[in-house]
Structure 1
Amino acid sequence: MKAVVQRVSEAKVTIDGIVHGQIGTGFMVLLGVGPHDTGADVDYLVNKISKLRVFADDAGKMNRSLAQVGGAVLAISQFTLYADTRKGNRPSFTDAAAPALGAHLYQAFITGLQDAGLPVETGRFGADMQVSLTNDGPVTILFDTEAQHAG
């Protein structure tokens, strides 16, 4: 499972011209699911992201978590994180999970963040979405659960 986490001052997702999800301070998370991902990968990412300390404390150091600053998450499914660009100019997406598994684990990720006490807004799995955000910092953190399995 791959996640791109961006610290934002605002973010929104629009579907068919209608705002579907919108947050102020928080994380905009692009989530990609691979074919071998499981609930354990979801749990790992929920734990890491919900406790990620990248918001400034009183001394200006990145030391506060999302909950400590009253932030929210905008979670967007993003199978293109599994693009294989090694050959040619047209990426292959065969390394991404099948839609049924992707949708299931995307929903489990959302539920896990909510169970951790975080407000979560979402896109719509499989939809054509327009995402806009103001990356604060900029701060962008990459997570890949395959790396945790490697050691």
Structure 2
Amino acid sequence: MAQDPPSQDLMHYEALAQDALRGVVKAALRRAAAPEGLPGAHHFYITFKTDAAGVSGPPDLLGKYPDEMTIVLQHQYWDLAPGETFFSVTLQFGGQPKRLSIPYAAVTRFYDPSVQFLLQFEPPPPAPPEAEATPPSAPAEAAAPPAESGPKVVSLDQFRKK
């Protein structure tokens, strides 16, 4: 007896799961933005695609990282503002405060080394040239992962304390 081929996933469950897990990032950032700040030893390494739709920041800074950038929220961050579709934060780069706005859809990794918690996401497609001027308050569309992408293994050694 022959088995029927699996049905096509018209519900896009993988994209739904990615969006739900990005909700964990949003909730963690909301806790960090509370007056009490980050509890205990918690801190975040957040990696995002700098060329994703809706990412904004100083052009000189984003120009240094044309593909991907990792920021650390630990002791010195200011004005953390987690919104519905993006978050904004001020960090120091070379002793100068710089404001970044990052859509959750642009986040590719979220890591809290204090408890070895890691979330990894499919990267969004690069923003078309005309979309780079999109204000950060514009909702970012969730993109389906490219068909040729497979699972990726990331070594956590780069995040461990030495």
Taking structure 1 as the reference length, the TM-score comes to 0.25
Larger radius of gyration: 2
Taking structure 2 as the reference length, the TM-score comes to 0.24
